[in-house]
């Protein structure tokens, strides 16, 4: 084993440990097995765009952790029926959290305007600046959703107070009967830099910048970043044989039309509701605030461009930029017998342990029978040899 592989193995171990401890770090896990609790904060974060522009954002992050745009993906285990978010507000104005696609009871907050009319400023109860509040959804449904601020929404959502909520029906089963191997979650959003500057320097809400009616975004983001920064996470390697679930989320204020022009997919749901019949498309109309799920396979080992067919492909007026990214797929590895995403000496050890078996069957399987002919022989060894050394298997 080379030093590099050794490092990687240790990294993998650490990664697993990290995953195991993650809920403990970030979230206090409720003793009730059917409820998951996330402790989030809302706060200010300054981000830098590829053109060097520095933008003041408001966003969500774990308590004690970093604010991110979009906020953290809130995953609800399949057997949980309740989601609770404890929100700490580190912003200068009151915020709240709503999940438009989940049925919920709301506690609207009103104020009286100068003409004596009651107006709602928050769809549900607020978390005051410096305070905390709790938001709970009972009977949370499976699907892909947005969570976002429900307060002063015309300002706060475009400031960055959005994220996604994901719940599967079962392990690798998004909805009953909709199975998938890999997930690609894409949050589309926009930034109007002048508006953010006005909020940051206090001119927003004054006659200089009275409202968001003239919203004019110049940055067009996928998962919080424009081209070329939007990528599939490095540990999410997609195989040409994988059934990929695209979770498409528009947290922006404009309609976008994500497209993979080279491949049809099946659009299967919107706002967490499966369609009675899927829709075979290479485009998805994704209006503001909408989530849609699509199932796709990408059968060639190559990069598939995915972009907004409304051509918001500039970054502060410069091309290329905006909502363009790639989905890379690779051939599946044959011979990754221990499923550690590498074909290496560990796999060879397993192979050797089974070498010579001729009794492979469904009842008595051999992982090393790579050509499924019932025995582990020289032919299988050749296949293993051909794949030997591959890393980052899908």
Site for other proteins in 143-162 (CB under 8 A): 150, 152-155, 157-158
327 touches other proteins (CB under 8 A): no
- State which of residues 34, 54, 78, 211 lies at the interface with other proteins (CB under 8 A): 211
Stretch that binds other proteins, among 29-37, 209-217, 335-343, 371-379 (CB under 8 A): 209-217
Distant-in-sequence contacts of 278-282, Cβ < 8 A, 24+ apart: none
Q: How far apart are CA 242 and CA 332, in angstroms?
A: 9
Q: 246 has which bridge partners?
A: 184, 294
217 touches other proteins (CB under 8 A): yes
Q: How far apart are CA 49 and CA 224, in angstroms?
A: 10
- Complex with other proteins: residue 316 or 391, whichever CB lies closer: 316
Stretch that binds other proteins, among 74-82, 319-327, 330-338, 367-375 (CB under 8 A): 319-327
Among residues 181, 287, 273, the alpha carbon closest in space to that of 236 is found at 181
- State which of residues 45, 75, 125, 281 lies at the interface with other proteins (CB under 8 A): 281
Beta-sheet pairing, 303-308 with 273-281: unpaired
What is the helix, strand, coil percentage profile of the chain, to 5? Answer: 15, 35, 50
- Complex with other proteins: residue 19 or 213, whichever CB lies closer: 213
- State which of residues 271, 331, 340, 354 lies at the interface with other proteins (CB under 8 A): 271
Around 31, how many Cα atoms within 13 Å sit in the side-chain half-sphere? 0
Minimum distance of other proteins from residue 187's CB (angstroms): 15
146 in Cβ contact with 251 (< 8 Å): yes
Here's the x/- map for other proteins, 234-263, by CB under 8 A: it reads as: -------------------xxx-x-x-xxx
- State which of residues 65, 305, 356, 374 lies at the interface with other proteins (CB under 8 A): 305
Q: How far apart are CA 17 and CA 22, in angstroms?
A: 8
285 touches other proteins (CB under 8 A): yes
Stretch that binds other proteins, among 37-45, 113-121, 125-133, 354-362 (CB under 8 A): 113-121
Minimum distance of other proteins from residue 219's CB (angstroms): 9
Here's the x/- map for other proteins, 177-206, by CB under 8 A: it reads as: ----------------------------x-
How many helices (DSSP H) and strands (DSSP E) are in the chain?
A: 5, 21
Q: How far apart are CA 72 and CA 381, in angstroms?
A: 44
Number of residues that bind other proteins (CB under 8 A): 76
Residues 331-350 that bind other proteins (CB under 8 A): none
Q: How far apart are CA 145 and CA 166, in angstroms?
A: 6
């Amino acid at each position: 084993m080379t030093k590099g592989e050794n490092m990687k193995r240790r990294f993998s171990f650490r990664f697993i440990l990290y995953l195991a401890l993650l809920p403990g770090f970030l979230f206090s896990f409720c003793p009730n097995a059917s409820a998951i609790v996330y402790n989030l904060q809302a706060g200010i974060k300054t981000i830098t765009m590829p053109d060097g522009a520095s933008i003041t954002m408001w966003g969500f992050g774990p308590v004690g952790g970093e604010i991110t745009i979009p906020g953290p993906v809130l995953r609800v285990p399949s057997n949980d029926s309740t989601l609770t978010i404890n929100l700490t507000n580190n912003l200068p104005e009151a915020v709240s959290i709503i999940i438009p696609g989940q049925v919920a009871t709301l506690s609207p907050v009103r104020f009286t305007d100068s003409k004596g009319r009651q107006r709602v400023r928050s769809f549900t109860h607020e978390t005051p600046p410096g305070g905390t509040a709790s938001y709970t959804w009972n009977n949370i449904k499976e699907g892909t959703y947005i969570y976002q601020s429900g307060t002063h929404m015309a300002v706060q959502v475009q400031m960055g107070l959005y994220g996604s909520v994901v719940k599967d029906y079962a392990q690798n089963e998004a909805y009953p009967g909709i199975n998938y191997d890999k997930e690609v979650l894409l949050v589309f959003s926009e930034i109007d830099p002048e508006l953010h500057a006005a909020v940051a320097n206090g001119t927003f809400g004054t006659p200089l910048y009275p409202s968001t009616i003239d919203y004019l975004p110049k940055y067009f983001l996928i998962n919080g970043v424009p081209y070329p920064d939007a990528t599939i996470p490095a540990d999410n390697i997609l195989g040409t044989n994988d059934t990929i679930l695209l979770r498409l989320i528009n947290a922006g204020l404009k309609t976008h039309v994500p497209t993979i022009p080279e491949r049809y997919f099946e659009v299967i749901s919107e706002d967490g509701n499966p369609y009675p019949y899927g829709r075979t498309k290479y485009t998805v109309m994704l209006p503001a605030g909408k989530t849609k799920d699509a199932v796709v396979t990408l059968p060639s080992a190559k990069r598939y461009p995915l972009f907004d067919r409304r051509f918001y492909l500039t970054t502060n007026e410069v091309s290329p930029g905006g909502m363009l990214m790639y989905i890379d797929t690779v051939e599946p590895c044959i011979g990754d017998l221990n499923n550690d995403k590498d074909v290496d000496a560990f796999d060879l050890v397993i192979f050797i342990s089974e070498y010579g078996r001729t009794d492979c069957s469904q009842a008595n399987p051999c992982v090393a029978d790579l050509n499924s002919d019932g025995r582990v022989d020289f032919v299988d060894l050749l296949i293993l040899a051909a794949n030997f050394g591959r890393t980052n298997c899908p």
